[in-house]
Amino acid sequence: MSKIDAAALTADLIKCPSVTPVEGGALVLLEQLLSQASFACQRVDRGEVSNLFARWGDKGHAQTFGFNGHTDVVPVGDEAAWTKPPFGAIIEDGVMYGRGATDMKSGVAAFAAAAIDFVRETPPDGSIILAITGDEEADAIDGTTALLDYMDAQNEQMSVCLVGEPTCPNEMGEMMKIGRRGSLTAWFTFKGIQGHSAYPHRAKNPLPAMAQLMHMMASHELDQGTDHFDASTLAVVTMDTGNPATNVIPAECKSAVNIRFNDVHSGQSLIDWMQGLVDQVQQDTGVEIEMVSRVSGESFITPPGALSDLIAKAVTAETGLVPELSTSGGTSDARFVQHHCPVVEFGLVGKSMHQVDENVPVAQIHQLKEIYTRILRDYFS
């Protein structure tokens, strides 16, 4: 039987308009392909989200290698700004264009193709699990978390997992992710008393309270970094009043901050710190402040060891580069997988992800498949 062309599969997936949470035909395509290769497939849909669980080999085997990825993509944006059809998978000068070309239909295609060819050519003494979600780019509530809930209920267990997100900043093979920073967003509402700007003593202006609190947060050094993490960061992401009149002191204003934090902190410790500042500013100004917060994920790390060594060895063999072990970047579904088993991320160069004319060199897709194939061969050997 002929091998699976990972680039052709990428093109087929790009042509599925799977903007979160629309399935778009991508998981249907993968389920058909994997079923033909004797993978036991199960749709694990929850809410509006479609997910696919696929396993080759006996359930509960001590050696079970897992892949995780997503077929959903971010919206196209201004379609008129694209020079190629966003869902056309057009190839020009060896480069494939389309939404999801980098993030991350090429990664899913590469590990699906590697897994299928591997079990057909050299059936391993073990199992391979593919956990593919349609809800990574949005709230990620009913995506990989639903797959992991399903696996727990069915006593399905991955020994280790590789998430196929783009991880390389500029050159294929230069970086892998062994952890991620946590992410926390907090929204603040400042409530004063509206009045005439010529008579400020008759009003209670919430704006100075907002400015004071945002300055206290933004100017504070959270930490200086740790062995595996850069320093945590806090960014003020919005400050709004909605007040068009210069002779009116508004009754209310709003702001928000986003914190990317390392393993010095937990989401709760940062919430407690912010609440302390809120209490202080309320006392100083008399302005009522409400805070609502959401932790998208805690920081985590898979300590360097057998899994990272396995992946690094395969990357070096195929690219000639020794990948840096990094925890940089935003969040990924690895934050959920890390509660299930050791997890590492490795994938393509991510420079064009989420951009207009998102693209991937076709040669990189084939190279990524070879890396994943080598990882499987080395793991099961």
Q: Convert 219-258 into a string of H (helix), E (strand) and C (coil).
A: CCCCCCCCCCCCCCEEEEEEEECCCCCCCEECCEEEEEEE
The per-residue pLDDT for 250 is 97
The per-residue pLDDT for 54 is 98
Nearest CA-CA partner of 118 in 131, 127, 106? 127
Compute the distance between CA of residue 298 and CA of residue 291 in angstroms, rounded to an integer: 19
The per-residue pLDDT for 127 is 98
> Which residues have a catalytic role annotated?
72, 136
The per-residue pLDDT for 199 is 97
* Domain ranges, ordered by start, for the chain: 6-180+300-380, 182-297
Tell me which amino acid residue 165 is.
E
- Residue pair 141/20 in contact by the 8 Å Cβ criterion: no
- Residue pair 336/218 in contact by the 8 Å Cβ criterion: no
Q: 26 Cβ partners below 8 Å, 6+ apart?
A: 13, 16, 18, 71, 105, 134
Q: Convert 85-115 into a string of H (helix), E (strand) and C (coil).
A: CCCCCEEECCEEECCCCCCCHHHHHHHHHHH
Alpha carbon distance, N-terminus to C-terminus of the chain:
23
Place of tokens 């059936």: 123
The per-residue pLDDT for 57 is 96
In degrees rounded to 5, what are phi and psi of residue 10?
A: -60, -45
The per-residue pLDDT for 139 is 85
The per-residue pLDDT for 358 is 98
The per-residue pLDDT for 60 is 81
Question: Candidates 3.30.450.20, 3.30.70.360, 3.90.330.10, 2.60.120.10; correct CATH number of 182-297?
Answer: 3.30.70.360
Q: Name the strand (E) or helix (H) holding 376.
A: helix 362-380
The per-residue pLDDT for 2 is 87
- pLDDT tens track, the chain, 381 positions: 789 999 999 999 999 999 999 999 999 999 999 999 999 999 999 999 999 999 999 998 889 999 999 999 999 999 999 999 999 999 999 999 999 999 999 999 999 999 999 999 999 999 999 999 999 998 889 999 999 999 999 999 999 999 999 999 999 999 999 999 999 999 999 999 999 999 999 999 999 999 999 999 999 999 999 999 999 999 999 999 999 999 999 999 999 999 999 999 999 999 999 999 999 999 999 999 999 999 999 999 999 999 999 999 999 999 999 999 999 988 899 999 999 999 999 999 999 999 999 999 999 999 999 999 999 999 999
Answer yes or no: CATH 3.40.630.10 is held by domain 6-180+300-380.
Answer: yes
Q: 4 Cβ partners below 8 Å, 6+ apart?
A: 33, 112, 113, 116, 117
How many helices and strands (H and E) does the chain possess? 9, 19
